[in-house]
Structure 1
Amino acid sequence: MEMNRLYIGGNWVQPSTDRKITVTSASDGKPLGAVPEGMEADVDRAVHAARTAFDTPGGWPDWPPDRRSAAMLRLADELDGRSGETAESVSAQNGMPISSASAFEGAVPAMLLRYFAELASKTPEEEQRDGIPMGTTTVRREPVGVVATIMVWNFPQVIAFFKVAPALAAGCTLVLKPAPQAVLDSVVLAEAVDKAGIPEGVVNIVPGGPETGAHLVTHPGVDRVAFTGSTAVGRRIASACGQLLRPVTLELGGKSAAVILDDADLAAHAEQHFAASFLNNGQTCFASTRILAPRSRYGEVVDFHTALAGGATVGDALDPATQIGPLVSSRQRERVEGYIGRGRAEGARLTTGGGRPAGLEQGWFVEPTIFADVDNASAIAQEEIFGPVLTITGYDDEDDAVRIANDSPYGLAGTVWTTDPDRGDRVAKRVRTGTIGINGYLPDITSPYGGRKDSGLGRELGPEGLRSFQQLQSIYHP
């Protein structure tokens, strides 16, 4: 794919420079295509388009919710028609196995649009409240304005629509900045937006690097920022938005614990264990990569996860049989291999993996790796690796398991594994994390998703996700 234009203001426009972002295949390192690299002038143009679309009387924010919902449903249909193209594009770029890309990148964005379209049509835009001690007040929900959305490379379309769908439903306009590592799918998105008849300037897309993102985040024409990415970058964005008093949602890193209770049936949930820990080759912020095992069953848990990792099919991301594909880039592979080296140096016991798979010399592959006998204070247990590497730490009793699970700077997700649902709920409620699952985990579109501690600020999805793109006005009547 060779794209020479940017999608801004409802049109394919000439970029301000001839600079390009070239994307390579994660599976073989060969070029996949190129798109223009947006610069500050392109961001300015996109924000102006979004600002105009928001501020013009009778525009998108002033449409009745049912009319906006109808446009969102058209966009959902267009995305459905391109689901295979989107999935293949993402899989080729970031190494996500095509089976996962089809289930997530190819399907979930349309689900999100349909959910938030229906939610918006059923959510009153204002309500009357009896005042105390007298009078009445009309409480109005208004769209927050122009939203800057910083997209990520690991789930580029799904996580983008965590923001795009509720923002559109609320009546906001957007400027999206795709990540350079996975940008070709944004062209497919732009084509869908154009064909769906979304009004000019409501959705604008400017690919670029960190400088482009920084300019967008601090642009005076932006009213709100929605970011998913690393904690380090999230801190910088939070600082910038704090200085500007600009609302921001930050969904950041994770190092989630899988608390395996002593009554867990491992074999009955083997598929769920694999998905919870190895989804997208471990390039998943909510992955349960920190396994906590009861000492009474420690050897069994180690053997189970060693077999799970060692038996996984590693290969080309576009092969339907692949369970573990390559990492997104050579840089990411070097990062993961660095952590594997630190694990060895810290004295953890490597039970499987730790190297590059034989026969896959091209591409950015790392073997699924298990470390046992891991001290929870070690780097590989405390820091986000973002690859197919799991650590296993023993615990004495339930209280000890909860203590270790909470002994982390992160608090995004997690899992509890048990044959007793009530016991699982009791343990889950004690883990200080934004989301958690019993015998498996995926974010639920209808429920709030987000982290505590270094895992971020704010919530996405569910009614809470819609409200985060609205602001309130109270009109008092004596």
Structure 2
Amino acid sequence: MAVRPALPTIPGLDKVFIGGRWQESRGGGLVDVICPADEEVVAQVMDPSIADADAAALAAHQAFDTGPWARMSVQDRATVCERLADAIEKRLGLLNTAWLLEAGAPIAHGEMINSGAGTMIWRNAIAQARAAKFEERRSGPLGEAVIIHEPIGSVLAVLTYNGPVVLMGMKVIPALLAGCTVLIKPAPESPLTSRLIADAIEEADFPEGVVSVLAAGTAVTQHLVEHPLIDMIALTGGTAIAVDVVKRSAARLARTALELGGKSPAIIADDAPLETVLPTLMDGMTGFLGQVCVCRSRVLVSERRYEEVIDAFGSAFRDLKVGLPWDSDVDFGPLAVKRGRDRAEAMVQRAREQGAEVVAGGRRPAHMNRGWYYEPTLLRNVTNDMEIAQEEVFGPVIGVIAYRDLDHAIDIANDSKFGLASSIYTADPDVAMNVARRIRSGGVAVNNAGVSLTEPFGGFKQSGWGRECGVEGIFEFTDTKQVLLSGSYLNA
């Protein structure tokens, strides 16, 4: 039997990381880190207190107001961020092992998302910042002005357990490149990866106060969201949490950027050959057991091809192997959190009660008696008014919905409060672009089930607002200033 990897050397297990250095906690206590694969305690870590949060918010505020970071040139900030990228990349092996232990992510998944995509994302962000126009001179009918993108201030970056490393490139490094100070708030389920990230930040040698890392729970997070010294909250999370963030920050009109969940559709047109659809769509449906915001959780197929698609995907789902994430022979480990397993299980049960049928999966694997496991599940006879088609599972549950024609498919795709990602599979490029223009989502993939994380990415509707990645993802953390050099509406 495969043996669980040993806990790598992780700094600061009994400390908090505030303002760029390890410190004793101001009243926090030790908590267990439980591996979701076998429910064993793998470490104890310091749980940050509200006093720690206050210290981190003050450090970020003071560093922005009086420190050098916001006043450095973007080229100099990029140089420091390059040191951070180097330091993270040196630790990728450790980070992937730590992620396996705290969230059940198999090493192969960590190597793909962190070592592969993550490296490209943060390196691209640094290159984009170096080339971006933070100042631009413009002339118009009412005068001549300089347009300046200035950092917005201190940023609370709220990260999730499903991407604690890659989100450094999507959220944290862009905010730093813009000139903001950043209080990184990883999920409490990310206590090991967050400390390795903090260690990399310390090695990168930022000016004092610029970066803090607190993998805190709900009470501390809510305190920070309400904190008067936090100028912006950049959140990756669920819609309900985002609504709470907006309410808590509304009184001071703090800026928010929200990358939220989805119920992303994949439309399979009648001319799309399944042998080309299956490889990418299977990954898009089941990657990290559906614990991905862009999971293609609604598969839309014509009534004519319904049985053909059910047979093909049902067979593919039944071939997937679930087991210990450190076993190289399995495809998936457990869900990262027990509540995620329980939610998937309950939603499948309600889907059955509403008329859906299980084609594959739909249960805890019989051979795994410990850990938070649930088999990748394919449901048929799903209609778009069912809960399973309208609410995000954030787990490995996919519903197949029949449509009459492509117009009907687009109507189904858009009949959702979400609008994050979507896919259209077709052999006709004109049809692909027509469908892509009509779907109400922040991203549409043609004959693919992914997104580009080097281009602006974000949601429509209740999938959030603001954009990450690309130069737009850097400017998200700026205010735009007009400096009028000549002319005015008064002279018009």
The Cα of 1:407 is off from its aligned counterpart by 0.8
Decide whether the 8 Å contact of 2:234 with 2:258 is kept in 1: yes
* 2:237 match: 229
State whether structure 2 residue 60 is matched by structure 1 residue 50.
yes
- The aligned length equals 476
State whether structure 2 residue 13 is matched by structure 1 residue 14.
no
* 1:456 match: 464
Match of 1:383 among 391, 399, 405: 391
Decide whether the 8 Å contact of 2:13 with 2:46 is kept in 1: yes
Match of 1:27 among 23, 33, 37: 37
Query: Which range is displaced more, 362-371 or 98-107?
Result: 98-107
The Cα of 1:37 is off from its aligned counterpart by 1.2
CA distance in 2, matches of 1:329, 1:391: 22
CA distance in 2, matches of 1:229, 1:160: 15
CA distance in 1, matches of 2:49, 2:471: 35
* 1:215 match: 223
Decide whether the 8 Å contact of 1:373 with 1:393 is kept in 2: yes
Secondary structure at the counterpart of residue 443 of structure 2: coil
* 2:78 match: 69
CA distance in 2, matches of 1:364, 1:227: 26
CA distance in 1, matches of 2:384, 2:133: 48
CA distance in 2, matches of 1:455, 1:20: 35
The Cα of 1:214 is off from its aligned counterpart by 0.9
* 1:409 match: 417
Decide whether the 8 Å contact of 2:297 with 2:399 is kept in 1: yes
Which blocks of at least 5 consecutive residues in structure 2 are unaligned?
1-9, 487-492
Decide whether the 8 Å contact of 2:28 with 2:48 is kept in 1: no
Match of 1:343 among 307, 331, 351: 351
CA distance in 2, matches of 1:143, 1:196: 21
The aligned runs of 1:27-426 (5 Å cut-off) are: 27-57=37-67, 59-133=68-142, 135-426=143-434
Amino acid at match of 1:129: R
Decide whether the 8 Å contact of 2:278 with 2:313 is kept in 1: no
Which blocks of at least 5 consecutive residues in structure 1 are unaligned?
none
Secondary structure at the counterpart of residue 89 of structure 1: helix
Decide whether the 8 Å contact of 1:253 with 1:384 is kept in 2: yes
Decide whether the 8 Å contact of 1:79 with 1:109 is kept in 2: no
The Cα of 1:132 is off from its aligned counterpart by 2.6
Decide whether the 8 Å contact of 1:257 with 1:292 is kept in 2: yes
Q: Percent identity?
A: 36
Secondary structure at the counterpart of residue 105 of structure 1: helix
How big is each residue's C-alpha offset from its partner over 1:350-403, in whole Å with a ceiling of 9 and x where there is no partner? 111111112111111111111101111011111111111110111100101101
CA distance in 2, matches of 1:112, 1:370: 32
Moved over 4 A (4+): none
Secondary structure at the counterpart of residue 448 of structure 2: coil
CA distance in 2, matches of 1:109, 1:26: 24
Secondary structure at the counterpart of residue 81 of structure 2: helix
Decide whether the 8 Å contact of 2:102 with 2:190 is kept in 1: yes
CA distance in 2, matches of 1:193, 1:453: 35
